[in-house]
C-alpha cells in the first residue's frame, strides 16, 4: 500500500500497490502491520456499506466522541464520491481545517480518517457505494455531527443543493466547545 499523509496530521490517502498481468491485478487493501508502522489505528470492529442511488446525495458530517471516538477507512467500491474530513481536535495546528478527496471505484484509493475528525461525502455519480472499516462500534449516545456548509470550515462542495437527511442539514453552527467532547 502507498500511504500519503494529507495536510491534516494523521489523515492519509492510501493507494494500492497493484501487481498486474493480463488477467487484471492483485493488491492488498488493508494490513494491520502496515497501519501500525504508520501510527494508524489498525483496529477494525465493524464494516459498513452506504449505497446511494442518486448523484448529489450528501451524508455527513459525522463523528463520535470518547469513549467511542472512531477511526475510519473509507473506500468507494462503485461510482464516485467527494469525500471530506474536518479536523476537530482542539489542540491540533489544523483545528477546523478540512480536506477533500475524490474517491472512485476505478482509482481504488482509500481515505484514512483518524479519531477526532468529522467525515462526510457527496455522491458524484448515481448508484455510488461506499465501504467503511470502523475502529469502534457505532454508539448512538456518542454520535455527533457538524453542518456540511458551516462557514467555520469553508468547505467548497461541487454541488450546491445536495439531497440529505434533515438531521445533517440542520446541525447548528459549530462552536469550539463542541469539540471538547473529543
pLDDT for the residue 88: 97
Distance CA 61, CA 97 (A): 13
Out of 62, 82, 108, 138, pick the active-site residue: 62
Contacts of 166 (CB under 8 A, 6+ apart): none
Contacts of 134 (CB under 8 A, 6+ apart): 44, 45, 46, 47, 48, 70, 71, 72
Q: Would residue 62 show up in a list of annotated catalytic residues for this protein?
A: yes
CATH classification number, 44-172, choose in 3.30.70.20, 1.20.140.70, 2.130.10.10, 2.60.120.10: 2.60.120.10
CB 144 within 8 A of CB 63: yes
Q: Can you give the pLDDT of all 182 residues of the chain as single tens digits?
A: 999 999 999 999 999 999 999 999 999 999 999 999 999 999 999 999 999 999 999 999 999 999 999 999 999 999 999 999 999 999 999 999 999 999 999 999 999 999 999 999 999 999 999 999 999 999 999 999 999 999 999 999 999 899 999 999 999 889 866 555 55
Out of 38, 108, 132, 142, pick the active-site residue: 132
How much is the CA Rg of the chain, to the nearest whole Å?
16
Tell me the residue length of the chain.
182
Contacts of 82 (CB under 8 A, 6+ apart): 100, 101, 102, 121, 122, 124, 157, 158
* CB half-sphere exposure, 162, CA atoms < 13 A: 28
pLDDT for the residue 30: 93
Q: Given CA atoms 65, 67, 68, 71 in this order, what sign does their dihedral have?
A: positive
Amino acid at each position: 500500500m502507498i500511504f500519503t499523509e494529507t495536510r491534516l496530521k494523521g489523515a492519509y490517502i492510501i493507494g494500492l500497490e497493484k501487481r498486474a498481468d493480463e488477467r487484471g491485478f492483485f493488491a492488498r487493501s488493508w494490513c494491520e502491520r502496515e497501519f501500525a508502522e504508520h501510527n494508524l489505528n489498525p483496529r477494525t470492529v465493524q464494516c459498513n456499506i452506504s449505497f446511494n442511488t442518486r448523484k448529489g446525495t450528501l451524508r455527513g458530517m459525522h463523528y463520535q466522541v470518547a469513549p467511542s471516538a472512531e477511526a475510519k477507512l473509507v473506500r468507494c467500491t462503485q461510482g464516485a464520491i467527494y469525500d471530506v474530513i474536518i479536523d476537530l481536535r482542539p489542540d491540533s495546528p489544523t483545528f477546523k481545517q478540512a480536506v477533500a478527496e475524490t474517491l472512485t471505484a476505478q482509482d481504488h484509493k482509500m481515505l484514512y480518517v483518524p479519531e477526532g475528525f468529522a467525515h462526510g461525502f457527496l455522491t458524484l455519480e448515481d448508484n455510488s457505494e461506499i465501504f467503511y472499516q470502523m475502529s469502534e462500534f457505532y454508539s448512538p449516545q456518542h454520535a455527533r455531527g457538524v453542518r456540511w456548509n458551516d462557514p467555520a470550515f469553508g468547505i467548497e462542495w461541487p454541488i450546491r443543493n445536495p439531497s440529505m437527511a434533515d438531521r445533517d442539514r440542520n446541525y447548528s453552527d459549530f462552536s469550539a466547545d463542541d469539540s471538547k467532547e473529543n
